[in-house]
Amino acid sequence: SDYEQFDEVIQVTTNNNLLVPNCLLRGYIAMLAVDHRCRKLGIGTKLVTLSIDSLRKEKANEVVLETEVTNHGAIALYQRLGFIKEKRLHRYYLNGVDAFRLKFRLPRLESSQIVT
């Protein structure tokens, strides 16, 4: 079916006898790094905030990322921005270190609230 491309269908409604999926749109931050000499200057916060804003404009429902459980600075940054720990992923990285998957839920905004 044409709807197999969606990761998850939350609700299906009809519109003029056509099935219309209401799907979850997930944004993903694959990698984010700030040189250790430039940390504590707000660069990481700005990069994550810009990523969230960009994904919000694309109508994502949530933003997901992973970080090493030992990366306390990154975890603190993400939690300050509103990310929550979703789960621990055992031996996630090639070096055998566990990761936390963190999630940031994006509330649905009315079209008048979206800044382009």
Tokens 């006898």 sit at which residue? Answer: 17
Residue 52 clears pLDDT 50, i.e. is over it: yes
What does the pLDDT read at residue 63?
97
Give residue-wise pLDDT tens across range 14-51: 455 555 556 789 999 999 999 999 999 999 999 999 99
The CATH code of domain 25-113 reads 3.40.630.30
What does the pLDDT read at residue 13?
44
Q: Which two tokens stand for residue 58?
A: 């694309």
What number is the average pLDDT over the span 46-64? 95
